Amino acid sequence: MGTQAVLNGVDVQQLMATIDAIKANPSLARFTFRATSEWVDGGRSRTVIQGFYGAGQEDTSRKNPFVLEGDEPPVLLGTNAAPNAVEAVLHALASCLAVGFVYNAAAQGIKVESLQFKLEGDLDLHGFLGLSNQTRAGFQNIRLSYRVKTDAPRKKVVELCEYVQKTSPVLDIIRNPVPVTVALEG
């Protein structure tokens, strides 16, 4: 398992250096991510994401903000301007697992040819509509499948898949409770 300088598009030397830096100074691991969001009309809203705090400083690498839109389909009273909020959760989960899989593969010297995910989440509107106290508002469950193309032995891929599940931030956020503090300003 030699480490190439760049594998799967990941700078393995930088990855190892990051791990060493955090071992030497654990506070470098503390990140705070941020977003601001504004309602547009109906089911439509717009989120702006740019700066964050991490690795001991405010990040200034993003010259322009990212803008993400949300909306609902007509059957949910929207205009299909963008995916809805729970679909955005599926995107977040796939994006997170891709990073986790590919970075850890690179760290182990595994070349990934391709990686695809399919995701499905079941939701019963009784919760959102306040029609039942027994029905949760969010996804009742999520089904996810991976398809990986790599030369690595199947056993390695299975182990990697399991490791990534233990260390994926978004999978943790979905599978386990996160405290959310809500304040109403003004």
Contact set for a copy of itself, span 31-60 (CB under 8 A): 31-39, 41-45, 47, 49, 52, 54-55, 59
Taking the least distance from each CB to a copy of itself, the nearer of 109 and 131 is 131
Total interface residues for a copy of itself by CB under 8 A: 127
Q: Which of 24, 122, 151, 155 binds a copy of itself (CB under 8 A)?
A: 122
- Asked if 26 contacts 19 with a C-beta cutoff of 8 angstroms, the reply is no
Amino acid at 25: N
Alpha-carbon span 181 to 37, nearest angstrom: 16
DSSP category for residue 110: P
Taking the least distance from each CB to a copy of itself, the nearer of 2 and 94 is 94
Q: Which of 30, 109, 111, 153 binds a copy of itself (CB under 8 A)?
A: 30
If one asks whether residue 110 binds a copy of itself (CB under 8 A), the answer comes out as no
Q: Which single residue is written with the structure tokens 């547009």? A: 40
Taking the least distance from each CB to a copy of itself, the nearer of 2 and 183 is 183
If one asks whether residue 108 binds a copy of itself (CB under 8 A), the answer comes out as no
Can you say whether the dihedral through the CA atoms of 71, 45, 97, 61 is positive or negative? positive
CA 7 to centroid of chain Cα atoms: 21
Q: Which single residue is written with the structure tokens 């760290």? A: 107
Taking the least distance from each CB to a copy of itself, the nearer of 2 and 156 is 156
H or E segment and range at residue 144: strand 141-150
If one asks whether residue 72 binds a copy of itself (CB under 8 A), the answer comes out as yes
DSSP category for residue 8: T
Q: How far is the CB of 163 from a copy of itself (least distance, A)?
A: 7
If one asks whether residue 126 binds a copy of itself (CB under 8 A), the answer comes out as yes
